[in-house]
Amino acid sequence: MTSTLKMTRRSALAAIGATLAAPVFIRNAQAAEVTLRLHHFLPAMAPIQSGFFDLWVKELADASGGAIEVQIFPAMQLGGKPPQLADQARQGIVDIAWSMPVYTPDRFPVAETMSVPFMVTSAEATSVAMDTLMREYGMAEYTDNGLTPLAFHTHAGGKLHTRGKAITSKADMAGMKLRAPNQATGDMLTKLGAEVVFFPVTEMVVGLSNGVIDGCCLPYEVVPAYKLQELTEYSAAPAPGARGLYTNTFALVMNQKKYEGLSDDVRKVIDDNSGPALSKRIGASFDKFEAGGKAVVEKHGNTIVEIPADEIASWQEVAAPIAEAWQKKLDDKGYDGAAIMKRANELLDKG
């Protein structure tokens, strides 16, 4: 009898301990407290969805005991065009959007800063640098406009994918018709002698197929989704140790009212799975995506060449006025352009 009583007490104490140690959320996975719609512009097979978003939304669901359900809508399935994504989140048309600041030029200038030529090392290090830069100088670009940032990141440095010949020097650039990924990179390519064309990445395949362009400037990561390895023959990358030609920046943002209207426990799960750690993680994911894309190019038999370090140094000199113009643009927007550019470079060199 005494033994049974002791065991009962022990069992009760164990049960109480387990209850106190359990997560806040203990509920049926089907009983979602909140359903969030995440909208982005790339196809569902793109690495950002299969290699990141699919995992992240499952983690949110697991961490919340099923209270958070995130539905992913790729390829602009909910309508609109990629430049409208930030506004769709601001207006509450969607709850979360994965957006590119360069698609709305000059609207988020601090967030665009890493898109200036030669402002990228690895995707992970540059994403950490961007996140830090935004927290020090640029959060109000979003928070004053009805948006709650969840993460900031970049992709790996862009490469030159061409047909007909490889580009390893300024002389090789002359007369080449190249699709530019953003205005600043387009300005650099123009200064180097290329004939620059601007159109969305979704139209690039048609441009290459029809001979409208001879190549494009993109990271390897994008190659498999659009089968660019079949439309180009050469890929050129800066020599190891040099900064990449360019990167584009990204902001994962949430409708501010939606975020603030969440219950405390749900908001905590969002907070615990966003911020600097998430920015770093997405950047690291893009480095993995880059390695995967390069492997596809190699397997297809395309020629990969190296742009010598001294050549890259000369290209950086050509691009210097573009960085100076960007600094002035930041000044014109009411920021301390010199401080932002200096800090961005410090963070990149540190990373």
Q: Which domains does the chain have, with CATH numbers?
A: 29-156+248-290 (3.40.190.170), 159-246+299-320 (3.40.190.170)
Label residue 135 exposed, middle or buried (CB < 10 Å: 0-12, 13-18, 19+).
Answer: middle
Chain CA centroid to CA 17, Å: 42
* Amino acid 4: pLDDT: 38
| CA distances from residue 128 to 152, 177, 238, 258 in whole angstroms, order as listed | 8, 33, 22, 26
**How much is the pLDDT for 299?**
98
User: pTM for the complete prediction?
Assistant: 0.90
Q: Which amino acid is at 301?
A: G
| DSSP 8-state symbol, 82 | G
The torsion angle over the Cα atoms of residues 194, 316, 228 and 226, rounded to 10 degrees, is -110
pLDDT at 26: 37
Q: Give mean pLDDT in consecutive 10-residue pieces for the chain, a chain of 351 residues.
A: 39 36 39 94 92 98 98 97 97 98 96 98 98 98 98 98 97 96 96 93 88 96 93 97 96 98 98 98 98 98 97 97 98 98 97 81
pLDDT value, residue 349: 96
Q: What's the confidence (pLDDT) of residue 218?
A: 96
Residues in the chain: 351
Q: Is residue 303 within 8 Å of residue 147, measured between CB atoms?
A: no
